[in-house]
């Protein structure tokens, strides 16, 4: 391992979030204004991921007051406090640049459901039906 890799390995976050393209995420960013610090939350869709290692970035797009805003976040930056995944979407492309031209309902992505989620609800309903029949 050369010197640059050794220095970069120290700066990497221990457990970066499992973010994929098409995910709707909340990025908690530390903002410094003068002497004050605050956390600003930006929620949007991940359009692209770029780079690798410490240089890995993600581009998040959100609509703010009717205007599309994109922001690039370094994944391993100390200014990025945490990244929460709100929902996942099924996408078939590595870069979602086509969302820039779409508006409103056309810009929606098909949401991915967690496997087995519907089965648990079905079992709970069948148990409640069995209780009402026996009573």
* Of 39 and 124, more confident: 39
Asked if the model's pLDDT at residue 117 lies above 60, the reply is no
Q: What is the pLDDT of residue 69?
A: 93
The CATH number of whichever domain residue 21 belongs to comes to 2.30.30.790
Q: How confident is the model at residue 44 (pLDDT cuts 50, 70, 90)?
A: very high
- Residue 21 near residue 99 (C-beta atoms within 8 A): no
Query: Average pLDDT for residues 31-36, to the nearest whole number?
Result: 93
Structure tokens at 13: 């976050």
Q: How many CA atoms lie within 13 A of 48 on its CB side?
A: 11
Asked if the model's pLDDT at residue 23 lies above 80, the reply is yes
* Of 31 and 113, more confident: 31
Three-class secondary structure of residue 109 per DSSP = coil
Give the dihedral sign, CA 110/111/114/117: negative
Give the dihedral sign, CA 16/86/80/37: negative
In the chain, what are the helix, strand and coil shares in percent, each to the nearest 5?
30, 40, 35
DSSP, residue by residue, 28-77: EEEEEETTEEEEEEEEEEEEEEE--GGG-EEEEEEEETTEEEEEEEETT-
State how many domains the chain has: 1
Query: Average pLDDT for residues 66-79, to the nearest whole number?
Result: 91
Calculate the average pLDDT of the chain.
84
Q: How confident is the model at residue 101 (pLDDT cuts 50, 70, 90)?
A: confident
Residue 80 domain boundaries: 3-134
Q: What is the pLDDT of residue 14?
A: 81
């Amino acid at each position: 391992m050369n010197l640059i890799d050794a220095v970069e390995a120290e700066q990497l976050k221990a457990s970066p979030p499992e973010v994929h393209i098409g995910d709707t995420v909340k990025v908690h960013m530390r903002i410094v204004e003068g002497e004050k610090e605050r956390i600003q939350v930006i929620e949007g869709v991940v359009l692209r991921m770029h780079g690798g290692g410490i240089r890995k970035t993600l581009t998040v797009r959100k609509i703010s007051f009717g205007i599309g805003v994109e922001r690039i976040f370094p994944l391993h930056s100390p200014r990025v406090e945490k990244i929460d995944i709100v929902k996942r979407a099924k996408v078939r492309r590595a870069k979602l640049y086509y969302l820039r031209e779409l508006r409103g309902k056309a810009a929606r992505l098909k949401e991915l459901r967690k496997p087995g989620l519907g089965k648990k609800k079905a079992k709970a309903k069948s148990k409640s039906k069995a209780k009402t029949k026996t009573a």
